[in-house]
Amino acid sequence: YIPAKKTFLSGGHFHGQPLAMAIDLLIIGVSYLSSISERRIARLLDHNVSGLPAHLTSDPGLNSGLMILQLTSAALAAENRNLANPSSVASIPTSANQEDLVSMGMNSGLKFLHILENLERILAIEMISACQGIEFLRPLRSSPIIEKVYQRVRRIVPFIRRDTELSRYVEEMANQIAGQGLTSGIRID
């Protein structure tokens, strides 16, 4: 399948099991990354762990801060864990039993794309949360690289003072992460 052209090309009907299994393994790894990122978000927003204000709000009690973003990241990570069940083990005979062992590689590929989009959103939430947390540690400064990334995030997402709709920030950050806009031109020496 060529997404840009919305075209399917025949693969010659060769057995796709090796590719399907590789994609399934990749899915498991990406799902695990989703869980790691979600756990960092949860720790940042938990004042008992981070020492920062609860839910990273400057006005706790009146405002929810980034609480809903942590709930969103938990839901996305849970979805990724559910989708991480390998498709390549779910063979169903097709073509009048002519193809008795089918790789289900297309299912694996489509799941991978969905899981990757979820991961981009989870990472976006982590970036938003991390930058919000940095605000509470000012005037302290971080490393030059983190400060550059922080400035790029702040061009998209302001400091969240009051409850507001956050999905537009998550989507824009996810687009930046997918397009490598946050890190382009930044070198680690």
> In this structure, what token pair is assigned to residue 142?
């971080």
**To which CATH superfamily is domain 17-178 assigned?**
Fumarase/aspartase (Central domain) (1.20.200.10)
**pLDDT score for 161:** 93
CA gap 48, 5 in Å, rounded: 51
**pLDDT score for 12:** 62
Q: Is the peptide bond before 139 cis (omega within 30 degrees of 0)?
A: yes
**pLDDT score for 189:** 72
Please state the domain extents for the chain: 17-178
Check residue 104 and report its DSSP letter.
Answer: -
> What average pLDDT values come out for the chain (189 residues) when binned by 10 residues?
83 77 96 98 98 93 94 98 92 75 88 98 98 96 93 96 96 94 79
Tokens 């489509």 sit on residue? 110
**pLDDT score for 98:** 73
> In this structure, what token pair is assigned to residue 117?
């989009």
Cβ–Cβ under 8 Å, residues 26 and 108: no
Cβ–Cβ under 8 Å, residues 144 and 169: no
**pLDDT score for 63:** 92
**pTM reported for the whole predicted model:** 0.87
**pLDDT score for 11:** 64
Cβ–Cβ under 8 Å, residues 49 and 129: no
